[in-house]
Amino acid sequence: MTTHNPKGKPSQNASEDEREAMRTQMEAERTEQETKIKTLLTDAQKNKYDNYLANRPKEMSNRRNANHSK
């Protein structure tokens, strides 16, 4: 059983299996959301969006590293 904090997010004491299940669910939801967004975009916009998605992990990493250096 997963316990939740007041905001409804899973708590840090979730088991490894629960965390993996949550990760899988979040990835599926993210993929579904990206697909829905792409149906609304022109081809040029899709290219920009694909570039954004490709660079997002690097940008997130850069932000994390910048926040830790403060």
C-alpha closest to that of 1 among 24, 14, 16, 12 = 14
Strand partners, 4: 10
pLDDT for the residue 7: 56
Q: Whole-structure pTM over 0.75, yes or no?
A: no
pLDDT in tens, the chain (70 residues): 455 555 566 567 788 889 999 999 999 999 999 999 999 999 999 999 999 999 988 887 888 888 776 6
pLDDT for the residue 9: 62
Angle at alpha carbon of residue 47, lines to 44 and 48, rounded to 5°: 90
